[in-house]
Homo-oligomer: A and B are copies of this chain.
Amino acid sequence: MDKIGILESIKDLAKLRTKDLYLNDFLLTWEKSMDELKAHYLVAEILRGMRENNLSTRLFDSGLGISLFRDASTRTRFSYASACNLLGIEEQVLDESKSQISHGETVRETANMISFMADVIGIRDDMYIGRGNTYMREVSKSVLEGYREGVLEQRPTLVNLQCDIDHPTQSMSDALHLINYFGGIENLKGKKIAMTWAYSPSYGKPLSVPQGIVGLLTRFGAELHLAHPKGYEIMPEVEEVARRNAAETGGKFTKSNSMSDAFEGAHVVYPKSWAPFAAMEKRTKLYDKGDDAGIKALEKELLAQNANHKDWECTEEMMAKTHNGEALYMHCLPADITGVSCKEGEVAASVFERYRIPQYKEASYKPYIIAAMIFLSKVANPAEKLQQMVERGNPRMF
């Protein structure tokens, strides 16, 4: 994007209603209005454009971005750190093993203790159904209280870096990838997007990716087809969100237990393993009881169950069924690639390799989407502020 493109995008941004984003969290995409979603795509592209044009995107001259990862992460971790850096705040990792949280601190207390200079808090907590999103809301409530009571000079806003319900930094990046791929958000209308389960030799992958996709990509007039073997249902509440979305935008939310049905005529395919919702609920209960043997038994059972569905693989044959045989293949990465990272997996090596660079591009939106989430929660008038930043003209590299 050149400088003219940046200025035009800023004008487009000025037309959107974004004021409810100000001093607010980003926890679930379906809590955001269409204007708000669009604002994120525009701000992400503007920030990227500014960086490409060597314009400083520093909103802050100091400040911290706290991160708490309760599960391993490469992409999201680096994307979050990149987003903070892009805006001028320094990432500060809360490593629970090095803190005194085990000494009996409450969530309320810890949340305030880490936030004295925090402009934003990013949390990944996706392991247990019913937990992650709840925890984020508790943190958010706690720091809001701390801000109101004068403990904190500023209100740290929350960014959901993946919870048990949604993975908004992923789904928003995926959506921006599609918007660019199809040449505009309006071009998603009528497209068929297949979000399908796929076989993986590993166990217990989070539901938040398929749920995030289903909850977001039903909002642009597309047909979102969700397919999985029987028993691999996602959370019913999220299906309900998808149904409502489709009804409101003239799109469709369809379902099947057939990968072929899903791929048939699809413009986009997103084949990915996940664990059954019911099993994950069961795991949370076992975890609460400290029943390690039960968890191991459940794992064994689920792996056996997975193995019944090895035919759910994104092969060349499957790809041939898609629209012109040329659907865009998507994945949140890392993928289980047959013959590369595992014996039998989610996707054939030739398919993965053909779409490797598009997938890297898909991932490349994430830092900018996270930066947009932070920016829009910190700035009352985002279009005006971006205009001023462009006019300021500070170079990123001297």
Q: Which residues of A contact B (CB under 8 A)?
A: 48, 51-52, 56-64, 69, 72-75, 77-79, 81-82, 85-86, 88, 90-92, 94, 98-106, 108-110, 112-114, 116-117, 145-146, 149-153, 202, 333-337, 340-342, 356-357, 360-361, 363-364, 366-367, 378, 385, 388-389, 392, 394-398
Contacts and interface: CB of A to CB of B under 8 A. Distances in A.
A62 B366 CA distance: 18
B340 A396 contact: no
A73 to B, nearest CB: 7
B92 A78 contact: yes
Contacts of A392: 398
B151 A360 contact: yes
Nearest to A57: B62
A58 B62 contact: yes
A58 B61 contact: yes
Copies of this polypeptide in the complex:
3
Which 3 residue pairs of A and B lie closest in terms of their CB atoms, listed nearest first? Answer: A104-B341, A82-B117, A74-B99
Among A62, A77, A106, A202, which residue has the most Cβ atoms of chain B within 10 A?
A62
A181 to B, nearest CB: 13
B340 A113 contact: no
B73 A98 contact: yes
A130 to B, nearest CB: 22
A360 B146 contact: yes
A61 B51 contact: no
Given A105-B74, A110-B74, A116-B367, A397 B64 contact: no
A348 to B, nearest CB: 15
Nearest to A336: B104
Contacts of A64: 81-82, 85
Contacts of A149: 357, 360-361
Contacts of A363: 112-113, 151
B60 A340 contact: no
Contact of A59 (B146, B150, B342, B397): B397
B397 A150 contact: no
Given A61-B58, A82-B64, A99-B73, A151 B116 contact: no
A18 B72 CA distance: 41
